[in-house]
Amino acid sequence: MAALIAGNALYCLLYTFLAGRTESVWQAIWWSVVNLAPWLLAFEAGKRSRRPLLAVLGGSVLSLLLAGEFGAFELARRLPGAALTFALLILVRRHEVRTAGGAVALPLPPERIAWVAAAGNYVELHGGDRPLLLRAPLTAVEATLKPHGFVRIHRSTLVNRRRVARVRTADLILDTGHSLKLGPRFRAELTA
């Protein structure tokens, strides 16, 4: 956040210089905080809230209070920030899957994930051109994806049941052509 505020302050200094005005560094930093902090706080609050629009409204009010002026221009100037914050919240929530124990934000929608492999403190989500890494234990991802048709087929592998093309004795073949090892303990759950 500090880098974002510093970058915005530099933008403010450059803009005022090109406009023929001068501002101090502290004025530029204050301008940056006034214009960025409410939206960053609204974004973070909106991610944790069941009502993201309320968080955006709170960010708008905070932005107006920090500006110290209330007028049509000040309100209109903040509408793009409110719209952008709300749009980002919608995008973030689109791939968030809620479970009883909370939510795990997935970089892909569950239906696009073919299989998941444990990789230390991470999991690899396979479903696109290349695997995506997510810092989460396999058990948490399993709890999140189980309602979406995922089953464990090995101590370190989950598979989307809808993507299984063929089950053999020691492995299974996905509709992508990948062959995955099938643990004997997990065969019954897959065929159930």
Query: In the prediction, which pLDDT does 151 show?
Result: 95
Q: Which residue type is seen at 8? A: N
Query: In the prediction, which pLDDT does 13 show?
Result: 84
Residue pair 160/114 in contact by the 8 Å Cβ criterion: yes
pLDDT per residue, tens digit, the chain (192 aa), is 677 778 878 887 888 888 888 888 888 887 777 777 777 777 777 776 667 777 777 777 777 676 665 454 555 555 566 666 666 666 665 555 554 455 567 777 888 999 999 998 889 999 878 888 888 888 888 988 999 999 999 999 999 999 999 999 899 999 999 999 999 888 888 776
Residue pair 157/118 in contact by the 8 Å Cβ criterion: yes
Query: In the prediction, which pLDDT does 99 show?
Result: 47
pTM of the model: 0.52
Residue pair 176/114 in contact by the 8 Å Cβ criterion: yes
Strands 122-126 and 132-134 come out as: antiparallel
What pairs with residue 152 in β-bridges?
158
Residue 118 has which token pair? 């444990």
| Domains (range + CATH), the chain | 1-97 (no CATH), 110-191 (2.40.50.1020)
Q: Could you give the angle at the alpha carbon of 105 between the alpha carbons of 99 and 109, nearest 5°? A: 90
Instruction: Measure the CA–CA gap between 2 and 189, rounded to whole angstroms.
Output: 49
